[in-house]
Amino acid sequence: MDGAPAATPAGTPPSAPRSSIRQLAAASVGNAAEWYDWYAYSFLAVYFADRVFPKGSGNSLVPLLSTFAVFAVGFFMRPVGGLLMGSIADRRGRRAALTATILLMGGGSLLVALTPTYASAGVLAPVVLVVARLIQGLSVGGEFAASTTFLVESAGPGRRGLFSSFQYVSTTIGQLLASGIAALLAHLLTEGQMGDWGWRVPFLIGALISLVGFWIRQGAQETREPAHGTDTERPALFEALRRHPRESLLICGITAGGTLAYYTWTTYLPTYAQVNAGFDKGDALIASTLSLAFFALLQPLGGLLSDKVGRRPLLIGFALGFAILAVPLLHSITSAFLSLLLVQCAGMVLLTGYTSIAAAVNAEVFPARVRAAGIGFPYSLTVALFGGTAPYLGTWFKQSGHPGAFPWYVAGLCLVSACVYAVLPETAKRPLDR
């Protein structure tokens, strides 16, 4: 690559100075493209559910449950992606993994756009959708591992929290694009048009965005050169788990409450409002778009604050806030537009204590040699168990006649994470292993 630094000994960063803006752009644009595709599925599920899946026993929630089950299946490919792509990042370099993830996501998005209906292809329709989600899950799992490592290693002294915040700034930009385009289409097209073909348009756009992300990432500079000798000099696939079991478990504890609260507030809440409070689909997407814009603005502030006061105060504030307020906030949602918007924005303020610094906290736990794979597998596994299942569990609680149980589930898991944060060593001022 023109302008790339010369190879350096294994385990050291490139000697050439890196442009902060260039590095942030390379990570952020690709990450936004990844998450645009991922979230478009959730926002549009209510439109294509009964086109791809057959209705069962006259229950209108059955197709939606099936669609969210596929959403969860995609999450369970994320640990595989985190391990495989994280290993590529540790063995071959961060940029190699970032290139692979963006191409996989673009292919998965195109496949979703081309998914046939159940009426035209029968069981082949949900099979195609499942395959597409498996590809996207593999990509997203690897994306977090590689881009988290890439961002934090690109940061200068005392700026890891700030750089870390751009993980969720770019993620939120992807969500904003997904929800904004979905909301625009919902208001321009009729319900029938959205169900017939309108829901496919955002996924076609996602495939194009992925190509742009791929092009931009070609200009990124490597943050840690891979080993150039034999395979024995490179980290093994399961080396992080084998040599750092405590750190792996710590990543799980750090992530559990945060991922459940995050996916509940940023992904599932519009659907939660629709099925529990009779909220209008289009209005729910608008409220989600506005709250996500507010959320993106908060992230750098949280990252900067953590560089000054440390990571633990923000993490504990987030977890205790949700443990106390999740139930009253979710129970206060009505069919009024302002109620959903206020609940979402209140949750975004609390969430910032976790999201703005999650990348930094995770990266500071592992040594550089196995950092990407070390983060990728336990993080993605925890997200699959608690974040990926949030929409399904929320809808299942409603169908089973216990909609009030889901808010207590969110509060309880956040309380568990608060206990982990209370004993977490402070890492903000420690030098990053390179």
Please report whether residue 233 resides in a domain: no
Please report whether residue 395 resides in a domain: yes
d(CA 216, CA 145): 19
Q: What is the pLDDT of residue 1?
A: 37
Alpha carbon distances (Å) from 379 to 76, 255, 311, 419? 12, 7, 18, 18
What's the pLDDT tens digit per position in 376-385? 889 988 988 8
The DSSP result for 58-124, as a single string, is TBTHHHHHHHHHHHHHHHTTHHHHHHHHHHHHHHH-HHHHHHHHHHHHHHHHHHHHTPPPHHHHTTH
Percent of the chain with pLDDT over 70: 90
**Taking the model in full, what pTM does it have?**
0.80
Please report whether residue 228 resides in a domain: no
Q: Is the predicted pLDDT of residue 307 greater than 90, yes or no? A: yes
Of 4 and 368, the structure prediction assigns the larger pLDDT to 368
Looking at every residue in the chain, the average pLDDT score rounds to: 83
Please report whether residue 227 resides in a domain: no
Please report whether residue 292 resides in a domain: yes
Q: What is the pLDDT of residue 125?
A: 85
Q: What is the pLDDT of residue 314?
A: 96
Q: Is the predicted pLDDT of residue 174 greater than 50, yes or no? A: yes
Of 302 and 72, the structure prediction assigns the larger pLDDT to 302
Distance of CA 20 to the CA centre of its chain: 23
Q: What is the pLDDT of residue 13?
A: 46
Nearest to 53 by CA among 80, 27, 32, 71: 71
Please report whether residue 249 resides in a domain: yes
Please report whether residue 4 resides in a domain: no
Q: What is the pLDDT of residue 56?
A: 58
Of 16 and 20, the structure prediction assigns the larger pLDDT to 20
Burial of residue 71 (number of CB atoms within 10 Å: 0-12, 13-18, 19+): buried
d(CA 374, CA 215): 27
Mean pLDDT value across residues 166-191: 87
- pLDDT level of residue 403 (50, 70, 90 thresholds): confident
What's the pLDDT tens digit per position in 221-249? 777 776 555 555 677 777 888 888 898 99
Of 324 and 227, the structure prediction assigns the larger pLDDT to 324
**What is the gyration radius of the CA atoms in the chain, in angstroms?**
21
Range of the domain at 38: 21-218+240-423
Going by C-beta distance under 8 Å and a sequence separation of 6 or more, which residues neighbour residue 404?
331, 397
- pLDDT level of residue 65 (50, 70, 90 thresholds): low
- pLDDT level of residue 366 (50, 70, 90 thresholds): confident
Alpha carbon distances (Å) from 143 to 82, 121, 148, 179, 214? 7, 32, 8, 21, 13
Q: Cα dihedral sign for 245, 393, 203, 176?
A: negative
Q: Is the predicted pLDDT of residue 136 greater than 60, yes or no? A: yes
d(CA 106, CA 353): 31
CATH code for the domain of 48 = 1.20.1250.20
Please report whether residue 128 resides in a domain: yes
Q: What is the pLDDT of residue 71?
A: 67
Residue with tokens 């590689």: 146
Number of domains in the chain: 1
Q: Other C-beta atoms within 10 Å of 270: how many?
A: 26
